[in-house]
């Protein structure tokens, strides 16, 4: 999928944003239980912060920012998560 396709596909945008919310909330909960686990997740603080932006509906979600995260960070997040299991 290209950015242009993503930009006009509201259903995909909603799904992606929701998944990022879930991931961020999970990391937030893990941080309360065992913060040492999170040291294995690159940029976990940024992920939690991004979750807060999405969850609290600041009405300023920029599709370019979300797409940038998908392009630049998603593979690392998947790799880090796989190391935890």
- Separation between Cα atoms, residue 33 and residue 67, nearest integer Å: 31
Long-range pairs, 65-74, Cβ under 8 A, ≥24:
66/13, 66/16, 66/17, 66/20, 67/3, 67/6, 67/7, 69/20, 70/16, 73/42, 73/43
Known active-site residue 51: yes
Known active-site residue 45: no
Catalytic residue among 10, 42, 56, 64: 56
Q: Which residues are catalytic?
A: 51, 56
């Amino acid at each position: 999928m290209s950015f242009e396709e993503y930009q006009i596909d509201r259903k995909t945008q909603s799904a992606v944003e929701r998944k990022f919310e879930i991931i961020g909330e999970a990391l937030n909960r893990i941080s309360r239980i065992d913060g040492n686990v999170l040291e294995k997740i690159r940029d976990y603080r940024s992920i939690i912060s991004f979750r807060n932006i999405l969850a609290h509906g600041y009405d300023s979600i920029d599709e370019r920012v979300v797409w940038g995260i998908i392009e630049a960070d998603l593979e690392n997040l998947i790799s880090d998560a796989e190391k935890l299991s």
